Amino acid sequence: MRYFQQSLVALLGSIGLLCQCYAVIDDENDSVYFQNDAGSQNSKYFRHLRGRFGTHETLNGLGLQDGKSGDLFSSFDSPSLQLESAVRSEGSVTRVMLNCMDDETPLACKKRILDSTSEECLRFIHCLHEANAFAVEVKASCLDDLDGFIDDPVREMLHIPDSLEIHHSRDLQAGQALPYGIDLVRAREAWTQFGVKGENVRVCVIDTGVWRGHEDLDRLFGHEGNDLVQPWFRDVDGHGTHCTGVISASDNNLGVVGVAPNVEIFVARVFSPNGEFHSSDMIAGLEACRDGGANVISMSLGGPFGSFQEQRTFDSLFENYGIVTVAAAGNTGRFQDIYPASYSNVISVAAVDRNRRHASFSTRNNRVDVAAPGVSVVSTWANNRYASLSGTSMACPHVAGVVALMLSYVPSATPAQIFDAITASAVNPNTDGVDSSLGHGIVDAVAAIEALANSSGGGGGEQPSPTDAPFPPPPDSESGGGGISGDCIELTVTLRTDGFGSDTVHWLQSSTGDILFFRRNLGSFETFQESACLDPSGCFAYHIRDAFCDGIRGEGVEIRYGNELVFSGGNFGCGGYILLGDGCT
């Protein structure tokens, strides 16, 4: 390693970092460090050099006011090298993730990690099942003992703090105000035309928590949220309450109204009181949403670095659990990938103003999918107040609400069908195609529901309601019921709930997407029976899901198809499905 004095005023002046400094070049790791007399200037940017002289890009970092004289600010091509340098230079404790082997149980993985170092070196934060990894807090002196550790990057809220304007209830118009975004995404038209406001859909909001007692939100919480940061029902920041209101503020002649006012809300609080959290906290939040029975996840958060662990988790939610995830595209105002929005299988949302113009702060990139209102959006706020905020944080929940309307009308829709319908129906005022500012365009709830119904074969007057049986009741068992009747085979599902009936949801659908029954919000310690007569040449899937992945204690569910007992018991974990009919391949 070679040290040399160098004048960097010309280089650093371009990014507002005028200070006395020297560089340290590390030939082995191909990186450059700058040591600054911190505290005299304030800059949010430091230059990242690749190789000995070439510049790479400007990265967000700490302001100089966050440091002290002699602090070392560095940036590497490799995130793990960046992390190791920062930790070693400070002699501090930091957050990392450690991967488990593919065939390794969490217990065996934890034991292997502890065998490689001492218990005093680290503290386990999260066991991340979907990512197959552990998040740990580790001392700098112990990094050499750990194989394959990776950075656990910080994520942040994606709103514009200077845009905040607080309102008390009396500051709003008498009765209920209509935020401009509701009509811009055509939510009211969708309520009237399709008769849905988000019924039978649960949206999980990963954020700063929520003010549960708010006059416009209180009825939405018939269950507990998740206390990754305690308590979920206290939002000292207000950001989570604002985003929740955009999705679901009640249509109650008070305050404001959300895009899908009849959805259920599940809250996963991940932000600490100082507004920080890490990638692993977000993954833990995603798993909490999954376990909480979410159909949709709204994430008004992000950061500049992605990870395999995050991508793996989003892929699993999309492919294995049928959960739609929506994220804010970012507020950098430039061309840059922000995560998690930039992952595949996540709907990335840019921001527009009330005139449908791209917001100047909204991040541009080739991964933006759609856009929604994100400038001066009025919604609920902490302490029973209301506030106007700007940011892609506000655009994201508009889209999450539209997705809830789509699923309320076509409950059997898959995430892939949702994604295709919402992008194909969006309207881009700038181009007939796709651009880096608005993606496919501004979401349109009416057009999206129509596109989804047409593509899935569901929805409209032909689809049975999720609460109505589409077939006549089967014959009474005492008068010869059961078995094969005419040209169909009778299916009978008997479900006996335990003390947590509301955790369970089950439904029957055909291969064409028709819903034969859909039941949720079940009572505790009750018995429910569903029957249908199925065409034996068709293919039908019976699904059951438990929010907390512990099945049903006791007798559980009994499934009879014709004269055959197909399944009996309650040991089904998070849930699954059974295919019925000769038409299943």
Q: What is the SS3 assignment for 321? A: coil
Q: Do 301 and 338 contact (CB within 8 A), yes or no? A: no
State how far the Cα of 574 lies from the Cα of 547, in Å rounded to an integer. Answer: 7
Q: Which two tokens stand for residue 180?
A: 């401009």
Q: Is 510 among the residues known to form the active site?
A: no
DSSP string covering 249-304: ---SSSB---SSTT-EEEEEE---TTS-EEHHHHHHHHHHHHHTT-SEEEE-EEBS
Which of 298, 376, 393, 455 does the annotation list as catalytic?
393
State how far the Cα of 234 lies from the Cα of 209, in Å rounded to an integer. Answer: 6
What b/e readout covers 30-64, taking b as 16+ CB neighbours within 10 angstroms? ebbbbbbebeeeebebbbbbeeeeeeeebeebeeb
Q: Is 207 among the residues known to form the active site?
A: yes
Q: Is 27 among the residues known to form the active site?
A: no
Which strands sit side by side in the sheet containing 31-36, from one edge to the other? 2-4, 21-26, 31-36, 72-75
Of 509, 516, 414, the closest CA to residue 456 belongs to 414
Which of 152, 207, 498, 514 does the annotation list as catalytic?
207
Phi, psi of 577 (to 5 degrees): -145, 160
State how far the Cα of 356 lies from the Cα of 428, in Å rounded to an integer. Answer: 9
State how far the Cα of 406 lies from the Cα of 203, in Å rounded to an integer. Answer: 12
Residue 44 CA, distance from chain mean position: 27
Owner of token pair 């409209």: 460
Which of 126, 239, 278, 506 does the annotation list as catalytic?
239
Of 303, 302, 236, 244, the closest CA to residue 274 belongs to 236
CB atoms closer than 10 angstroms to residue 370: 30
**Among all residues, which ones are annotated catalytic?**
207, 239, 393
